[in-house]
Amino acid sequence: MVRVRGGAALCMLLGACASTSLDPVRFRNQAPVSVVNDRQPIPKPNRPSFALLLYHLDNFLFRRLTRVMEVPVPSRARNVNSLDEVPDSSWFVNRIGVRELSLDELRRGPNRDAGPDTSAPWHVLGTKVGGKSPGLLIKDARGQKFLLKFDKPEAPDTETGADVVGQRLLWALGYYTPEDSIVFFTRAQLALSPQAVVKDFFDNERPMRPRDLDEVLSRVDQRPDGSYRGLASRFLSGALLGGYWPEGVREDDPNDRIPHEDRRDVRGQYVFFAWLGHTDIKPDNTLDVWVEDPTDASRHHVQHYLIDFGQALGVTGVVERVAADGYSHAAFDFQYAPLSMISLGLWKRPWEGAAAPPLRGVGRFESEHFDPGAWKAQYPFIPWARMDDFDGFWAAKLVMRFSPQQIRAAVEAGRFDDARAVDYLTRVLVERQRKTGAYWFARVNPLDGFQLVGGDLCFQDLWLSYGLGQAAGTRYRAQAYDFEGRAIGWQASADGAARTCFRGLSPTRDHEGYLIVSIETERDRRRLPPVLVHMAIDPTTRALRVIGLRRQ
């Protein structure tokens, strides 16, 4: 028996079906779960220590060795509902996947306002600890705290712009993110708080002096008019608990019951990060926060955030001068270096020829060399190694939901000085979007949106809906089965189309009319694995309804 937490879907593996060729999974006759109840009140968890060096040693060396000795057993994501979708939870909230987002929503993202209040000086509380870039902790006139980050002088607009664009798009996809805004200010806008301190990596602190503030500003990009451009990230409300670990669960959070490597919303990040060219994935770029329940301040639960997107849009390749960014993990290039050495450098590595355009604010971000299935982050990430084609299909569906206008609205939020940067980044994101859809839709049978309309079973072929191919050469074949997996005689076929409906379906006489329709797609002489659509009689309307999907 396989059960998805929160009652998301109860599937019964029945021996009675074992002798048939159908998948033995059956679903309860109930509506698919859309929200998981993982916000039960809990005591404040501990903040575990995190040693980045030890994490990288484990990731690049020890965990690689143990994985070589393991016998991999493919397993499907465990936090999906009966329609193979990810319900809302403390990890993920369906946004663009279930509704049309306005252009204003894409420009604003999760932000409640435009950033720090500029009606009075910002009080500097100290310097940022951690990370490679300088930063300041500030408090505005409303008492709101922000982390202020900057661009390097040699790469103006890049990290701040990439952060906001990545934040807007990842929020729209469904993730919890901080409120990040582009701000412009002068030195006169900053006032040193009497309590301001400078803290080092060992938590040693001393009073902050004006020269410390000037030293920070001397290391960042200053605009021709003497002002500064920054990224203001509002402090999250609640107790910060550090990042979530790639494997296992947080032991002191009873709501965290599915191993992180088995969560589709974590596995599927591979597709999103590849699309965005965001190679900086590690636990300290995630953040668990013990937050108040919005309806009851006495109740708290853990909410899971993605943070720090300044290395997206190919920025790492330019700012850190990493030629293989997006093509190979950091450290030794195990995949490509040996081939290059054997060929004495004659064999061209995949990233050779990829370059940043001569545009202010743009990293080495392009689509010509982009391979959605071969893309690599700076560091190995265990959940991504466990990702399967069904996770990739789910994520690609969300990526394809963005219109070019919505993508452009998110890019405009980066407030790039050069208008050509907005045009370029929008175009490249759209090109990478279509490559993403084409890659992942080709690895499954990309039929979706199943619904019963007046007794007809209708569905979309996403390959054709998004214009990734021609309808000619595509054909669908369907056959119906009862609860026990026995063919009941109903069959249908149709030529390829963006939307297709099959007629003449009738419920069976037992198990609440349980009916399974297997739909195969043949495209360009290639037979794609079937999608099994499970139906039963709705006890309220007495009509057939879709209660589950199973992709093979």
In the chain, which residues fall in CATH 2.60.40? 447-551
| 8 Å CB contact between 277 and 313 | yes
CA distances (Å), origin 549, targets 25, 535, 544: 10, 9, 15
Angle between helices 419-441 and 389-400 (to 10 degrees): 140
Q: Do you know the residue count of the chain?
A: 552
What order do you get walking across the sheet with 499-502 strand by strand?
A: 447-453, 456-461, 499-502
Q: What is the pLDDT along the chain (552 residues), one digit of tens a residue?
A: 222 333 344 343 333 333 346 899 999 999 999 999 999 999 999 988 766 667 666 666 666 666 666 666 789 999 999 999 999 999 999 999 999 999 999 999 999 998 999 999 999 999 986 556 789 999 999 999 999 999 999 999 999 999 999 999 999 999 999 999 999 999 999 999 999 999 876 778 899 999 999 999 999 999 999 999 999 999 999 999 999 999 999 999 999 999 999 999 999 999 999 999 999 998 889 999 999 998 899 999 999 999 999 999 999 989 888 888 888 887 556 666 666 667 666 566 777 778 889 999 999 999 999 999 999 998 889 999 999 999 999 999 999 999 999 999 999 999 999 999 999 999 999 999 999 999 999 999 999 999 999 889 999 999 999 999 999 999 999 999 999 999 999 999 999 999 999 999 999 999 999 999 999 999 999 999 999 999 999 999 999 999 999 999
Q: CA-to-CA distance for 136 and 432, rounded, in angstroms?
A: 34
Interior CA angle at 117 toward 114 and 122, to 5°?
Answer: 130
Instruction: Find all residues with CB under 8 Å of 551, minimum gap 6, and list them.
Output: 84, 390, 393, 444, 445, 529, 531, 532
Give the other-Cβ count within 10 Å of 328's Cβ: 23
Radius of gyration of the chain (CA): 26
Q: What is the pLDDT of residue 352?
A: 74
Q: Quick one: tokens of 122?
A: 């910002």
Concatenating the DSSP letter of every residue in 337-354 gives: HHHHHHTTT-SPPTTTT-
| 8 Å CB contact between 372 and 442 | no
Q: 447-551 sits in which CATH class?
A: mainly beta
* Helices assigned H by DSSP within 91-219: 103-108, 158-173, 210-218
What order do you get walking across the sheet with 296-306 strand by strand?
A: 239-240, 286-293, 296-306
Q: CA-to-CA distance for 21 and 2, rounded, in angstroms?
A: 20
Q: Quick one: tokens of 429?
A: 């994101």
Q: What is the pLDDT of residue 11?
A: 42
Cβ density class 306-320: b for 16+ within 10 Å, e for less: bbbbbbbbbbbbbbe
pTM: 0.91
Interior CA angle at 491 toward 489 and 495, to 5°?
Answer: 175
* Helices assigned H by DSSP within 118-229: 158-173, 210-218
Q: Sign of the C-alpha dihedral, residues 279, 280, 285, 286?
A: positive
Instruction: Find all residues with CB under 8 Å of 491, minimum gap 6, and list them.
Output: 477, 478, 479, 480
Q: What is the pLDDT of residue 52?
A: 65
Residue 282's nearest CA partner among 378, 419, 373 is 378
Residue type, 14: L
| 8 Å CB contact between 533 and 505 | no
